[in-house]
Amino acid sequence: MRDAVIGRPVLWTAGDAAAAVGGDGGLPGHETAVGGAGGLGPWQATGVSIDSRTVTPGDLFVALRGPSFDGHDFVARAFAAGAVAALVSRQPPGLTASDGALLMVPDTLTALADLGRAARARSRARVIAVTGSVGKTGVKEALATCLAGQGATYATAGNLNNHWGVPLSLSRLPASCRFAVFELGMNHAGEIGPLARLVRPDVGVITTIEPAHMEFFASLAAVADAKAELFEGMTASGIAVLNRDNGQFERLAAAARFRGIGAIRGFGGHPGAEARVLECAMDADGSVVVAEIRGEPVTYRVSLPGRHWVINSLAVLLAAEAAGADLSTAAGCLGHLAPVRGRGSRRRFPLTQGSFTLIDESYNASPAAMVAAFQVLAQTDPESHGRRIAVLGDMLELGEQADAFHAGLAGPLTAAGADLVFCCGPHSAALLPHLPAARRGGWTADSAGLAPLVAAAVRDGDVVLVKGSAGSRMARVVAALAGLAGEAGPVPAAGVPSLPAACAALVA
């Protein structure tokens, strides 16, 4: 059955949605509430949205409450944009009986989770969940690419990985998919467990454990324990895929065994890893990798640069194989990966005289991710008399060690051959004194002040890396650099707050 929206399968009928959430549709059988333009009657939704600004025709709109807004105030806007129904806990203002159908529930966030739970229950897909301190979104996107050629594949859009994003993503899962990939994030203990119990993954991937969110954790071991909550949603038949090179591997493996998971597979360079890199040749555009995956030799190219992507690729192949995909086909797809915006995308921009290359890593940052980005900068050769320039914002949520972590970037920057370093934020100020005076490009309190400073300094042949935590708003610098070529940069959208505002940015 399909809705009038061409090419989009029906996700929810009025009856199915009401049964999932236990809501009151206003008629026997809970099939409708306020009728559509044709009067009272059943509806069917081809999508689910929590943001009235991005509603597309055929969506079911879920009116969530955030700290500074209430989605019920935007139900009329959602109907005007084409929503066929709205999940609500009270009568929204400004509606008439012909605007659209209402499904009434006591709490809309609980109901969204119920929708996700029902979608998971009816799905026959092999489900992979990905978490870890860094690399989650990239690995999730790579898995989606590698699995899509082997069957209908669904994956979390963007990084909808928290207590709103995961149930929303599950609620959008088509019943017909063969594979599904979900990203799970957290910044406090106790957050991944409930998400894992919703997703119920067949394969659980933990990319790595590194210093991140240390403001909320006493140690790396505590971070590992929080990530290991992933196993709470897995059965004994599940497969855990873990970074064999990471110092927390044994702790994670023990946590998996405690949950009854017998199949624990490692990836990395470790001799005991089930997915092991044997050789690799890296260049500015990617790597050629010779690996052994569960005893099978595999040679492939990864189209994203950096050793971290060599290791990530092993996790992708091990998880894909665990989900029942063909290994060689999946490996062939790794040569067609594209960087996610703000996570390593690369563009050349013209200048009045010449051009420069921008490596956009502006979405987020942690110490390990910074070092990986510096290695990519080192592999990228400037043209003519250009320079390697690093533009860095604060890494956030590092707690009392924040200044020390920032100062510690000086060595990796020097090793990467960074000729000039600009930075902003109170913690980044601790970095500059550890750099030679000739490499100190400048410091400002925030990215708004740094953006014009960097834009004025860029010249022909330069390679410019921009990276910082989401809260450092380094997209402002990217926008200023794009502006040198007369292009609009990725400026955050203004307007009605929705998922991003309510979540204070989705978590890592």
* 20 contact partners, CB below 8 Å, separation of at least 6: 12, 114, 115, 117, 118, 119
Return the closest-CA partner of residue 499 out of 182, 156, 100, 68.
68
pLDDT band at 507 (very low <50, low <70, confident <90, very high): very low
* Number of other residues whose CB lies within 10 A of the CB of residue 238: 23
pLDDT digits (tens, 9 = 90+) for 361-405: 998 899 999 999 999 999 999 998 999 999 999 999 999 999 999
28 or 357: which leads in pLDDT: 357
Spatial separation of the C-alpha atoms in residues 97 and 34, rounded to whole Å = 5
Identical fold for domains 123-336 and 345-489, yes or no, is no
- Compute φ and ψ for 128, nearest 5 degrees: -115, 130
Answer yes or no: are the C-beta atoms of 175 and 118 closer than 8 Å. no
pLDDT band at 342 (very low <50, low <70, confident <90, very high): confident
pLDDT digits (tens, 9 = 90+) for 82-109: 999 999 999 998 887 778 899 999 999 9
pLDDT of residue 356: 95
Domain boundaries, the chain: 12-111, 123-336, 345-489
- Compute φ and ψ for 353, nearest 5 degrees: -125, 105
Return the closest-CA partner of residue 224 out of 203, 252, 256.
252
Is a pLDDT exceeding 50 seen at residue 189? yes
pLDDT digits (tens, 9 = 90+) for 195-213: 999 999 999 999 999 988 8
Spatial separation of the C-alpha atoms in residues 379 and 80, rounded to whole Å = 50
Q: pTM for the whole thing?
A: 0.87
* 343 contact partners, CB below 8 Å, separation of at least 6: 137, 138, 360, 361, 363, 364
Spatial separation of the C-alpha atoms in residues 422 and 448, rounded to whole Å = 13
Among 127-141, 322-336, 480-494, whose mean pLDDT is lowest? Answer: 480-494
Which superfamily, per CATH, for 345-489? Mur ligase, C-terminal domain (3.90.190.20)
Nearest-5° Cα angle at 197, 119 to 125? 40
Structure tokens at 21: 């959430």
Fold observed for domain 123-336: UDP-N-acetylmuramoyl-L-alanine:D-glutamate ligase (3.40.1190)
Helix (H), strand (E) counts: the chain: 16, 21
292 or 485: which leads in pLDDT: 292
pLDDT band at 81 (very low <50, low <70, confident <90, very high): very high
Mean pLDDT of the chain: 89
pLDDT digits (tens, 9 = 90+) for 119-142: 999 999 999 999 999 999 999 999
What is the percent of the chain with per-residue pLDDT over 70, rounded to a whole number? Answer: 90
Spatial separation of the C-alpha atoms in residues 108 and 73, rounded to whole Å = 14
Alpha-carbon separation of residue 400 from 106, 217, 425, 504 (angstroms): 42, 11, 15, 21
Which residues in 366-405 are b (16+ Cβ under 10 Å) and which e? bbbbbbbbbbbbbbbebeeebbbbbbbbbbbbbeeebeeb
Only one residue has tokens 């690729």, namely 313
28 or 104: which leads in pLDDT: 104
24 or 321: which leads in pLDDT: 321
Architecture category of domain 12-111 in CATH: 3-Layer(aba) Sandwich (3.40)
Is a pLDDT exceeding 50 seen at residue 40? no
pLDDT of residue 487: 66
Strands 44-45 and 47-49, bridge-based pairing: unpaired
Return the closest-CA partner of residue 460 out of 346, 352, 347, 345.
352
Nearest-5° Cα angle at 376, 375 to 380? 115
339 or 504: which leads in pLDDT: 339
Is a pLDDT exceeding 80 seen at residue 35? no
* Number of other residues whose CB lies within 10 A of the CB of residue 457: 16
pLDDT band at 302 (very low <50, low <70, confident <90, very high): very high
pLDDT of residue 30: 32
pLDDT of residue 32: 37
Return the closest-CA partner of residue 344 out of 363, 317, 331.
363
